[in-house]
A = this chain, B = another copy of it.
Amino acid sequence: MKEYLTINEFSKISGIKSSTLRHWEEIELFKPVKRDPETNYRYYTPEQLIMINFIVVLQSLNIPLKTIRDIDLKRNPEEIIKLIDDQEKILNKELRRLQDAYSVIHTRRELINQGLNADPLNISIEELPEQHIIVGPKTKFPKDGSFYNPFIDFCKKADELHINLNYPIGGSHGSFEDFVKAPGEPNNFFSKDPGGNQTIPAGKYLVAYNHGYYGNFNDTVKRMTDYTKKHNISFTGPLYAIYLHDEICITDPTQYLAQIFVKIK
């Protein structure tokens, strides 16, 4: 009859490395039931698998080992239930955090991909789907037109307004004419948060692209006005500019890629 498991046998069955088992013994978190007095070999029992599995679960919930050890010492049903209740709350937060992170990188992926498929020199009329956003407070641009201070204001108020700054950030202008007058000075910044409660409606939009640093729209303004005159288009609602490619995927600032779109009347 083999009653005891050596460290490597126990390691294989539990999936915990032997070095980790030695470490857990040293910090007095989890001990073998027995040590051979001659050889100092560690011996574990199969029912210890129950305990070690529970430790692994607690650890996977990011509970520090010290805390787990302290629980272990004074464990009783009421304490464990309290611990679990606390952890369920923490876990829900963690799940939300990860789902947010997922949503962020997914949204970014979509925009980067749109940028890769776009022809930056072409202006076109496109059917755009509804887009969810969260709009920041009205901007106040200084006379020199620097976007630094308005942007900082936006970032500072983000928390309060539940704006997640991890999503791609864009700027909105009151109208096409506002944009033409001051292309680098949007009325508002917004984050492209798919859970946002504000929406850019679906519909026919004039869509243009621009290569350049934030707020530098070069000849794109002229290209757009020329196009609207030629095709005799007029607009309704705000104009939106959002960076599909920014410093996150491009090293050269002159190659940042903005998408500019405004709804056709």
Selected from B2, B87, B144, B250, the residue in CB contact (under 8 A) with A76 is B250
Q: Does A108 contact B (CB under 8 A)?
A: yes
Given A85-B109, A148-B2: A50 in contact with B101 (beta carbons within 8 A): no
Beyond A80-B112, A247-B50, is A57–B101 a contact (Cβ under 8 Å)? yes
The answer to whether B101 touches A91 (Cβ under 8 A) is yes
* A249 contacts B151, C-beta separation under 8 Å: no
Contact status A13-B250, CB under 8 Å: no
Q: For residues 87 through 106 of chain A, which have their beta carbon under 8 Å from a beta carbon of chain B?
A: 87-88, 91-92, 94-95, 97-99, 101-102, 104-106
Count, chain A residues at interface, CB 8 A: 67
Chain B residues lying within 8 Å of A250, measured Cβ to Cβ, are 75-77
Q: A3 within 8 Å of B by Cβ?
A: yes
Is B144 within 8 A of A1, CB to CB?
yes
- Please indicate the chain B residues that have their CB under 8 angstroms from the CB of A56 in the complex: 166
Shortest Cβ distance from A95 into B: residue = B98
Q: Which chain B residue lies CB-closest to A148?
A: B46
Q: A78-B116, A109-B81 are in contact. Are A95 and B99 (CB under 8 A)?
A: yes
Determine whether A234 belongs to the interface, using a CB cutoff of 8 Å to chain B: no
| Contact with A105, one of B84, B95, B106, B147 (Cβ below 8 angstroms) | B84
Q: Does A61 contact B (CB under 8 A)?
A: yes
Q: Give chain B residues whose Cβ lies under 8 Å from the Cβ of A116.
A: 77-78, 81
Given that A49-B155, A248-B51 are contacting pairs, would A87 and B105 also be in contact in the complex, using a CB cutoff of 8 Å? yes
